[in-house]
Structure formats: C-alpha cells, structure tokens
Amino acid sequence: MPPRPDLAPEPALCRALAADLGAAGFFSEALRAAWGETADTATARGLRSPALRALGERTDALAVLGRLFVLGMPQPGAAVGEALPRTGVDGLGRLGLAAVDEETVTPQAIIRPQSFTDDRGSGQWWIASDLDEAALGGALPDDHVLGVGGASLTLAGLQLPTPVARGLDIGAGCGIQSLRARRDVAAVVATDVSDRALGFTQLNALLNGVDGIEVRRGSLFEPVGGERFDRIVSNPPFVITPRVKGVPAYEYRDGGLQGDDLVAAVVSGVGAHLAPGGVAQLLGNWEDRGARSGLDRVRQWVAASDIPLDAWIVERERLDPLSYAELWIRDGGTLPGSPEFAQLIDAWLEDFAARGVTGIGFGYVLLRRPAAGAPTLARYERVPQSLDPGTALGAHYADALAAHDRLAALDDAGLAASVLVVGADVTEARHHLPGIESPSVIELRQGGGFARTVPADPGLAALVGASDGDLPVGALIDAIASLLEVDPAELRAELLPAVRELLFTGFLRFG
C-alpha cells in the first residue's frame, strides 16, 4: 500500500466538508435506513457486503459517501464531486482524507457519523479515523489511529456531566473524549505520542465545529509538566502486549511498557496534575499475579501517588491469559488458524507466565484529589453484570460522589435524622418457597446505574419501601423495630450502614 498522505486539517475546508455532509444527510439514522439494520450491524463488525448489496446501484450523495467514508471503498471522482460540491475532490486530497486521480477517489481515512446521548440531550458527531481492517484488507499498520469503538464509547459515557474550567485528554487518539469533555469543560488540552492522532483530533474538532481543544505531542504527562486540571480523562494504550520481536505494537492500544505498567504510571502520577477537587477518569487493564488480585494491585498504585486520592475502582470483566491473548491478536487483524496467530499466542502466554499472571481485569478508574483534608473514598469492587449498550453512567457517578460527600459529613445521628426517598428505578422482588407465606429471598433491583441487585432482609426492605420523603430514617427504624418486635438500637446499628451503601449506589436518595 502506498504511504498515506499527511492530514492537513484546514479550517475552511473542514467547514465546507461539514456543510456537504450535512446537506447529503450523512447521519447515522439515514445510513441505517439506507442499508437496513442487519447491514448496519454487519458494518460495525467489519463486514461490508450486506451494505453494498442494500445500496445496489444507487448514485445519490448518501450512497456515494456511505461507500467512500463508511465502507472505505474507492468511488468515481465525478460522483464524489457531486456529493461534495463545496469541498470538491481536490479538497479531500488537501485534507489528507483521500487520494485523487483523474477518475477515482480512494479514501485514506473513514468518516462515520456517531450518535450520542447524555444528560444534556442527544447529538451527533462525524468522526474521522484511519481505514479499518475491512478497507485495508489485512492487518492494521502500527501507527493506526482507531475510530470510535466500544471502549471509547464507554469512557465517553462515564465522563462526569458537571461543568469545570480546564480538562486534559491523555492519549487523545481520534479525539472522541475531547469532544465529549468539551460539552462540560471550558477548555481541553489533548495529548498523544502520535502526530497523526493529533491531526485527527484537530480535524474532528473542526469538522464538528468544536473549539477550545488544544493539541500537544508527548507521552502521558510530559506535555503538561507543572500544570493542573479540573478534569482528566484517558483511554490510554492499556493493552498488555509482549515486548518481544515479531509482536506488533500498535500505537493506539500499546503503551510500550511491560504488563500493566502504563496504567500503573497513570494512576500513580495523575494526582500531581489534578487541581483540588479535580477528577480523573480512565479505563485500564490490570493483572492478577499469583494470589494477588488486580484490584489489590490497583490499590497499591493509588497508595503510591504523591498526592492522596479518593479512589473508586470498578472491575467490569476478567479474562484468563489465553482468552485475553486471542481477543487482542484478532483485534490487530491476524486471523485464527494462521501460523502467525499461533506464534503470537505463544508469545503472549510466555509473557504472562514470566510474571505469574493468572488473569487480566478490565474496568473503570475514578480518582479525585480532595478539595480539602484527607481522602474519604476507597472503593474497589467487581461489578460484572451486563448493561445495555450505550449506557451513560456519568450522571450516576456524579450522584454517587455527591452522596458520598454528604454522607462523609454525617454521623449516625445525622443520618437517622435525614429524610430519604427511594430511587425511581428501584423495584423489589420476593421469592417464596411453595406453600410458605414468608419470602425466602428479598431482592432490591436497580434499573439505572450499574443495574445492581442487593439482597435485603425484612427490616431493610421495609425501610426502603417506607422511604417516601415523609419521615426521617430514625423514626422509620423505630416503627419497623416495633413491627418486627426487635430492639430499636440493634436494628439501627444493623440498618444504618446498609442505608449508607444504598445512598451511594443510588437505591435511596436524600429527600
């Protein structure tokens, strides 16, 4: 394949391209309607033929741009010129998005519309990135810039929806996290080791009319030495890759360090760049080594920070070494069954064995520099239940932090004096053995947030059911103790810690 042209995100051309894309109706829903739900799903998996069959011989602007930018296929120059009258085929070439000859426009990048929804409403971006495996017809180049994938959508949905002044996006890639951050952050610095990634970040900001994003080249915190931020977000190159000859190292996912050392470096170093009250959010992998769990090792990284930090770590998934190796070798475009695939598997497993790795965890990291005083939050948990695709947890995170801060200032007497309401998404399930009147199991279930299920005894279930914003917690406990014929003081000692947990997790809210 000939070398890719350099990106040249000229503001005027980016505005022209945005106008052309909008005029062509180049949006997610329109494309889905053009080629159907099945083809849309297949396209997300790198399969182009269903969409091509659905488009047939169509030559309208949406069909031409869908083939060119979504499927990554060359198109006739005349058709592209008609679809992009303001930009023109020469404009695409000047931007570095296509190679142009007398008759054909060959894409050098993909542009995909990306719908999103957060607490402020819904919207859509156009996201440009490098050609994928389907368009390339083989393995990715080492300096590939990834588009919007599952991990990047997850992190975008985790970002806190609270306004702050200054943010940092470490390892910006195509710039999706910077775009999301700018919805709540006044100014963002985006860093990456890849000039091409920073070019895509600039181009995508211009294409979507988003200002306030400054790009800087460098690794981790090097470009921002001595600076502090109110919000730091990172989808770092956290994939654990053997550092041996013959194993590809992709810039978008491999940080160049051994094992999970890169995530450890971000966790232990981010505190120095957080302003008081500032929050960092990132995704990461961590290794279980021998009898020591990955979550315990993350706790050690947090303790190594020069700045004491609040920490909320959620492990969402855990894979054995073989499954992890297979996942990321396939991600790079190497097919199972090939000699190369088997060789890479051996390299991965030997690397894990050298460190005594028994499993690899994936999850969400939230770190906060206390505005004043010592840290009060140290929560390391496994939350493996599945969530609906596209679930945005940012508002849930913000509510949980606010509840934690309020609880940290309340002793048990203060909590007992508080009036609470049950979350609108909370339901109760009771399981009875046949012929037995009393339930053997009571569960509280959460429709939002992490969709948790919490076992409850009759006292806790009664307290949650009675939390309607009328009576304080203490009065409710006394009434329940009378009904259950138990000691009120003992019931209070049993239920108040559970109430604190339910407030943090969103089952209960302060009235």
Over the chain (511 residues), the average pLDDT of each successive run of 10 is 80 98 96 94 89 95 97 96 97 95 93 85 91 78 85 93 97 96 97 95 98 96 96 91 83 77 95 98 96 96 97 97 92 83 92 96 97 97 86 94 97 98 96 83 95 96 96 97 96 98 98 92
Q: What pLDDT is attached to residue 2?
A: 57
Give the pLDDT confidence of 405-443 residue by residue, as tens digits: 999 999 999 999 999 999 999 999 998 888 787 888 999
Q: Which residues of 399-412 are buried (b: 16+ CB within 10 A; e: fewer)?
A: bbbebbeebeebee
Q: What is the Cα–Cα distance from 65 to 60, expressed in whole angstroms?
A: 9
Average pLDDT, the chain: 93
Q: Residue written as tokens 């690397």?
A: 351
Q: What pLDDT is attached to residue 330?
A: 87
CB 316 within 8 A of CB 383: yes
Q: What is the Cα–Cα distance from 122 to 499, expressed in whole angstroms?
A: 34
Q: What pLDDT is attached to residue 257?
A: 77
Question: How would DSSP label each residue in 21-36?
Answer: HHHTT-SHHHHHHHHH
Q: What is the Cα–Cα distance from 332 to 252, expressed in whole angstroms?
A: 11
Give the pLDDT confidence of 371-418 residue by residue, as tens digits: 999 999 999 999 998 887 668 899 999 999 999 999 999 999 999 999
CB 24 within 8 A of CB 132: no
Secondary element (H or E) of residue 443: strand 441-446
131-401: CATH number: 3.40.50.150
215, 220, 223, 224 alpha-carbon torsion, rounded to 10°: 100
Give the pLDDT confidence of 285-335 residue by residue, as tens digits: 999 999 999 999 999 999 999 999 999 999 999 999 999 999 988 877 787
